[in-house]
Amino acid sequence: MKKIFLLPIAILLLAITACQDDLVLDNEPLKIDGIQGNWVLSIVEMQDYKAINASNRSLDVSYVFTEVAQPTTMSFNSADFTFTYNEGDNPSFLPESGTWRFVNTSTNDWSANYPDELHLIAGGDTTELALGGPVRPQDEYLQFTIQKNCPEDNQGYGYLFKFIRQ
Interface ranges with another protein (CB under 8 A): 46, 48-52, 54, 56-57, 59, 61, 63-64, 89-93, 148, 150-155, 157
> For another protein, which is the closer residue by CB, 16 or 150?
150
- Taking the complex as a whole, the smallest distance from the CB of residue 96 to another protein amounts, in Å, to 15
CB 62 within 8 A of CB 164: no
- Taking the complex as a whole, the smallest distance from the CB of residue 106 to another protein amounts, in Å, to 13
CB-CB neighbours of 91 under 10 Å: 10
Q: Which helix (H) or strand (E) holds 3?
A: helix 2-19
Closest CA to 159 of 64, 71, 95, 73: 64
Gap between the Cα atoms of 105 and 107, Å rounded: 5
Alpha-carbon distances, residue 63 vs 13, 46, 51, 60, 137 (angstroms): 63, 12, 22, 8, 27
> For another protein, which is the closer residue by CB, 22 or 67?
67
- Taking the complex as a whole, the smallest distance from the CB of residue 108 to another protein amounts, in Å, to 15
CB-CB neighbours of 134 under 10 Å: 16
Residues in the chain: 166
β-strands 82-86, 73-77 pairing: antiparallel
- Taking the complex as a whole, the smallest distance from the CB of residue 62 to another protein amounts, in Å, to 9
> For another protein, which is the closer residue by CB, 136 or 148?
148
- Taking the complex as a whole, the smallest distance from the CB of residue 17 to another protein amounts, in Å, to 49
